[in-house]
Amino acid sequence: MKNLLIGLALTFIGQVLIFFQTNGQFFIPWFKNNPFIISLVGGTLVSYLFITGTGYTVEYFGGTVWENRLLGFGMGMVSFSLLTYIFMGEGITLKTGVSLILATSLVLIQLFWK
C-alpha cells in the first residue's frame, strides 16, 4: 500500500505541474514570455515525477502497467478540472461533469477491483 500511495502522490504532483507548465501562459505572463525555460525545467521535473511514480504503482500492481495508465488518466482529468476552475475560472459543464464521473469511475475500478 505504501508504494501505491507514493506512486499516486508523485503522479498527482506531476499532473499539477504539467497543468502549470502548459496552461500557466494564460495567467502568468512570465510563463508566456519564457516557454523554452518552462519546457526545459518543467519537462525534466515532470518526467522524473511520472517515471518514478510509475515505478511505484507498477510495483504495487505486480508488474502490470494498465492500472497505472488508467489511474494517471483519471487523476489527470480530476486535477485538471479543479485547477482550471480555481486558476482560470472555467466552470464544469454537464459534459465535463459526466466525463469527471467516468474518470473517477476508472480510478475506483483500478483501485478496488482485484
Give the amino acid at 19. Answer: F
Instruction: Based on DSSP, count helices (H) and strands (E) in the chain, helices before strands.
Output: 5, 0
Query: Are 32 and 25 spatial neighbours (Cβ–Cβ below 8 Å)?
Result: yes
Q: Tens digit of pLDDT for each residue in 11-43?
A: 999 999 999 999 999 999 999 999 999 999 999
Question: Residue ranges of the domains in the chain?
Answer: 2-112
Please report which confidence band the pLDDT of residue 111 belongs to, taking 50, 70 and 90 as the band edges.
confident
What CA–CA distance (Å, rounded) separates 114 from 110? 8
The answer to whether residues 84 and 20 touch, using CB atoms and an 8 Å cutoff, is no
Distance CA 14, CA 23 (A): 14
DSSP, residue by residue, 12-23 = HHHHHHHHHHHH
**Higher pLDDT, residue 20 or 104:** 20
All cell numbers assigned to 65: 502497467
Q: pLDDT for 53-79, tens place per residue?
A: 999 999 999 999 988 888 898 889 889
Cα distance between residue 32 and residue 34, in whole Å: 6
